[in-house]
Structure 1
């Protein structure tokens, strides 16, 4: 099931033609439960900041929330995987908001294995639509039997996962890679709640960490391997990370 609305109107084949053919845009993704989502302020700030950078204008945050509520109501659901896309179709006075509503992601967290792939996203701080490189990295990882790709710069600096943020545990602190990457909303929630530090992480130095995990809007998963480097699941660490995430309030959309 996918319910799609463009500017508050159910999408048709004709109105979908512009979003489908344009890669100059950005989006945010979230899990909704009971008409609520964690970190709504972070999602709205992400959309507003990218809209200002790409199109030179701000975004009406109240309107975004209204469009999300309308799409959920029209789909007849209160639990969903929801995305908001922002385009500026023809240099009009205002941007176009596309909201998609799909089934909620319910899969329980499971240990994952990552394959390092040499790739750095263009304009990585923006959650933009130019995802060919990420998709290719994911394909390479999947074909090799891995769950996710770990993106690595030419100098060996670890940046982020293809669709996740990666974090490493040195025994005392959660180390978030200090590199050009997208600040995920889950990372933004967790970073101030955990003993965190941002530090350069290198592919060659991965064996020096005791554990690792990845985060995105779908949740948090322990990492049990990156290439030939293996990690044990640190149950105490994962309990702390999960508890911190669960402590974040669900905001009414």
Structure 2
């Protein structure tokens, strides 16, 4: 699989606090790299783990700007951007998770949505961008990703912040070298996460999440909540590059979904169909929340 760069799709709509972006409001954001965001896939006006996205934004806002972020306000602004015609406050309870991309009223049901938060003058300001939805290949074999390890750990890794140059650089270099994703590592080859993914390793009995600085992604959190009930225990433990030959399989995940890992550097990893079937089943069972 060739993983698309995370910003390849053109922005369909962009709003700042419910209004179209202007030269002044966009200039302020271009000159201010201090902020945070969340990224989600919308289907039929719904999102998996919406509450987790709202919690992420609120927690990051409290840490960076010393104030909470109203989840209802976030939802309102996302709905407004998806509506695109001022009718974003309408009730979407009847929407399905596989609705059409855009209706005759201008409502975009399926999309990649990002919510960026800055605080000019100390007041949180939200920018919502809408792009075309990202769909992974149907079969796990076609999704399989090759990872290139790089010596880099994101600063303040537990926050999805705007300082993404390092991971973007390493992700680009990995793709230029024929890989799909960069695998971020620290001292002594300690694995933390992918450039835009979380990663996990299967030892034949348990799924192991690397115990190192990382962002606890929404898909990762949904899986951790459901895998034990599906009969697949998980644990947090240090994983180093030199340990990888002892693992039977690996996978990566983000808002796009879950994918198997076919290779890390020169180490080939087999596709474990049973493992990926269990993980995919748990992920697909996660409920869709109305925005």
Say whether the fold is shared (TM-score over 0.5).
Answer: yes
Counterpart in 1 of 2:39? 29
Deviation of the 1:192 alpha carbon? 2.2
Aligned residues: CA RMSD: 1.0
CA displacement at 1:12 relative to structure 2 = 2.1
1:140 aligns with 2:173: yes
Structure 1 residue 139, shift from structure 2 partner: 1.8
Q: What CA distance in whole angstroms lies between the structure 1 residues aligned with 2:50 and 2:172?
A: 31
* Equivalent residue number for residue 290 of structure 2: 252
Q: Distance in 1 between matches of 2:156 and 2:118?
A: 17
Cα separation, 1, equivalents of 2:277 and 2:158: 29
Q: Tell me, what secondary structure is at the counterpart of 2:136?
A: coil
Q: 1:241 aligns with which of 279, 284, 290?
A: 279
| Structure 1 residues 155-184: Cα deviation after superposition (integer angstroms, max 9, x where no partner) | 221000000000100101110001110000
Structure 2 CA distance, aligned partners of 1:99 and 1:20? 15
Instruction: Give the aligned partner of residue 123 of structure 1.
Output: 156
Kindly indicate whether the alpha-carbon contact (under 8 Å) linking 2:193 and 2:214 is maintained by their aligned counterparts in 1. Answer: yes
- CA drift at 1:76: 2.7
Match of 2:102 in 1: none
Residue 77 of structure 2 corresponds to residue 67 of structure 1: yes
2:204 equivalent among 155, 171, 194: 171
Q: Structure 2: how far apart are the matches of 1:185 and 1:210?
A: 25
Tell me which residue corresponds to 1:114. Answer: 147
Residue 147 of structure 1: CA displacement? Answer: 0.4
- Whether 1:225 aligns to 2:254 is no
Query: Counterpart in 2 of 1:50?
Result: 60
Aligned residues: 251
Determine the C-alpha separation between the residues in 1 that align with 2:131 and 2:107.
11
Gapped runs of 5+ residues in structure 1?
none
- Equivalent position of 1:77 in the other structure: 108
Cα distance in 2 for residues equivalent to 1:222 and 1:162:
16
More deviation in 229-238 or 17-26? 17-26
CA distance in 2, matches of 1:243, 1:113: 23
* Residue 53 (structure 1) shift: 0.2
Q: Aligned equivalents of 1:186 and 1:180: distance in 2? A: 17
Which deviations, in whole Å up to 9, do the C-alpha atoms of 1:118-164 show, x marking residues without a partner?
A: 00100000000001110111122112110000000022210000000
Distance in 2, Cα, partners of 1:224 & 1:218: 18
TM-score by length of 1: 0.97
1:104 corresponds, among 109, 133, 138, to: 133
1:10 is aligned, of 20, 43, 51, to 20
Equivalent residues in 2 for 1:209-220, closer than 5 Å: 209-220=247-258
- Runs (5+) with no aligned partner, structure 2: 1-9, 85-105, 228-232
Aligned-pair CA distance for 1:20: 2.1
What is the CA-CA distance between 1:116 and the residue it aligns to? 0.3
Q: Is the 8 A contact 2:136 2:257 kept in 1?
A: no
